Every structure is written in structure tokens, then in C-alpha cells.
């Protein structure tokens, strides 16, 4: 059993416990990514990165508010974290 299946089974079993934790995690990581993007300036690329961060975080929040299936919410959380962490890594390296 790989990590994805372990995390998904645990997420599905404790779905209502992980919803607030996921929202907090996605929002905190997203705010760090937005801060790093805006620290570089206010040009087009920074605003585009800010748009991507906002869409990723709000996309996850909307799946929770729409009360979608746990698999969709889990994938939205993973996508949000992947996008935001990649923007953070980009700004820490560059």
C-alpha cells in the first residue's frame, strides 16, 4: 500500500475532522506563497502567481463548501498544496 492510499483512506475515514485542518493548512501555505510572490514586486508575473495561489486555495475551499465527495476534496487539497509549495520553492531558489 503506497502513501497516497494510506493518506486517502485515513482522510476518508475522518473526513469531517480533516476538513478544518485542510482549510487551515491550505490557507497558511497559500498565504506564505502569496507573501513570497508579492515580496518580489508588483509586476505581471507576480500578479499571475498571486492569481494562481488564490485560485488554488479557493478551489479547495469551494470543494469543501459544495460538500463534494471525499475523493474530490482530497485531490483538491493535494493540488492546492502542490501549487502553493511549488511557488514557495520557486521563490526560495530564485
Q: Tell me the HSE value of 87 on the side-chain side, using a 13 A CA sphere.
A: 29
In 3-state terms, what secondary structure has residue 94?
coil
Q: What are phi and psi of 44, to 5 degrees?
A: -65, -45
pLDDT digits (tens, 9 = 90+) for 29-69: 999 999 999 999 999 999 999 999 999 999 999 999 999 99
Tell me the DSSP string of 4-65: HHHHHHHHHHTHHHHHHHHHHHHHHHHHHHHHHHHHT-SSHHHHHHHHHHHHHHHHHHHHHH
Q: What are phi and psi of 38, to 5 degrees?
A: -75, -20
pLDDT digits (tens, 9 = 90+) for 68-84: 999 999 999 999 999 99
pTM: 0.93
In 3-state terms, what secondary structure has residue 18?
helix
Amino acid at each position: 500500500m503506497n502513501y497516497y492510499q494510506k493518506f486517502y483512506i485515513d482522510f476518508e475515514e475522518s473526513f469531517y475532522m480533516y476538513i478544518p485542518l485542510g482549510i487551515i493548512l491550505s490557507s497558511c501555505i497559500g498565504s506564505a506563497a502569496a507573501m513570497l510572490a508579492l515580496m518580489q514586486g508588483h509586476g505581471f508575473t507576480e500578479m499571475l502567481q498571486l492569481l494562481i495561489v488564490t485560485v488554488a486555495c479557493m478551489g479547495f475551499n469551494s470543494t469543501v463548501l459544495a460538500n463534494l465527495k471525499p475523493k474530490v476534496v482530497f485531490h483538491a487539497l493535494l493540488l492546492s498544496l502542490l501549487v502553493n509549495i511549488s511557488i514557495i520553492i520557486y521563490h526560495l531558489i530564485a
